[in-house]
Structure 1
Amino acid sequence: MTSAVTKPKKETGEKTTLSREPLQGLGFPALNRMRQEFDELWNKLFHDVPAIWNAERFDLRWSFDIEDQPEAYVINAEAPGFEAGDFNVELRGDNLVLQARHEEKKKGAKDDESFSTSEFYRSMTLPPFVDAKHIDATYKNGVLQVTLPKTAEGKGRKIPVQG
């Protein structure tokens, strides 16, 4: 993003432009052009190309939410199109790893065969005071829910407020 500030000169009243673009005005037009082309290529790669690969555009990320409830942390990940057996939820040290993989093969007319693969991977460090032995995961109605129960210390204690 390029932005500029116009400022009048005190002596002559002419306006000069102060650019926030680091290479502009330094005699590097080729580098500026190359940067613009790279930015355009980056945008095409990550915004336009999926629409070319598949007629229906899809989001490659899951909607992901973490709630801090009194008894547990609850992770909800919207993951439509999977089955419960497609998921692999693991605890690796102090990291929680969520993975899913679904392959679908379709047979069409005249022995045409097509397949599609959906994959997801997410890893996160466990919050402090989680009872790792009682982590629970369920998949229902397109939502993966992982419950991370808190230890007694993690649940905290209520402190009365005096007035």
Structure 2
Amino acid sequence: MTQLTRWNPFRAARLEPMTTFDDFFRGLGNRPMWRDLDIAADMRIDVTEDEGSFSVKADIPGVDKKDIDVSVEGNQVSISAEVKRETSKKDEDKEICTERYYGKVYRAFTLPSDIDSAKADARYDNGVLTLTLPKKKNGSSRKVSIS
């Protein structure tokens, strides 16, 4: 199980408010890796196939369905989404820790056979995008609307 991560050299040596000066140097050599790395958001998918179609389930939590874009061209499927962060905080609110991701995610993949994009269906419910992609011998290109 590998996951691409981004290393931020400026974050590795930051001082945490609840540690003492001695604790900072004591744990310098054996600090956990997860503390020093920024983990980029990813889109996890499951693809299944039956005789007539492919089924794709993509986990995209925290996204409004109007911010998801699905396109099918031949046997190429691409999914992009934008996670937006609410910025309505009060002046006296102070962020202690922020780990939730916001930004754009994108995933593209190729299926073994062409898709009938006119009959493709997309549904988004409880953070899971479900695509039903019927197979076709001669592919075409079309944007898929999400219901």
**TM-score of the two chains, using structure 1 as the length reference:** 0.52
Q: Deviations over 1:30-75 (max 9, x none)?
A: xxxxxxxxxxxx977185322xxxxxxx662122110012331000
Q: Which residue of 2 aligns with 1:106?
A: 87
Say which SS state the counterpart of residue 87 (structure 2) adopts: strand
The RMSD of aligned alpha carbons is: 3.4
Cα distance in structure 1, aligned partners of 2:6 and 2:134: 43
Cα gap change, 1:44 to 1:133, in 2 (>3 Å): closer
Are residues 1:90 and 2:108 paired?
no
Cα distance in structure 1, aligned partners of 2:67 and 2:56: 18
Q: Which residue of 2 aligns with 1:149?
A: 134
Contact in 1 for aligned 2:74/2:115 (Cα 8 Å): no
- The one of the two structures with greater contact order (alpha-carbon pairs below 8 A, sep at least 6) is 2
Cα distance in structure 2, aligned partners of 1:117 and 1:100: 10
Structure 2: any 5+ residue segments left out of the alignment?
Answer: 9-33, 96-100, 138-147
Say which SS state the counterpart of residue 66 (structure 2) adopts: helix
Say which SS state the counterpart of residue 139 (structure 1) adopts: strand
> Larger % of helix: which?
1
Structure 1: any 5+ residue segments left out of the alignment?
Answer: 1-41, 51-57, 153-163
Displacement of 1:147 in angstroms is: 1.0
Cα distance in structure 2, aligned partners of 1:106 and 1:61: 23
Report the number of matched residues: 105
**TM-score of the two chains, using structure 2 as the length reference:** 0.57
Please tell me whether Structure 1 or Structure 2 has the larger radius of gyration of its CA atoms.
1
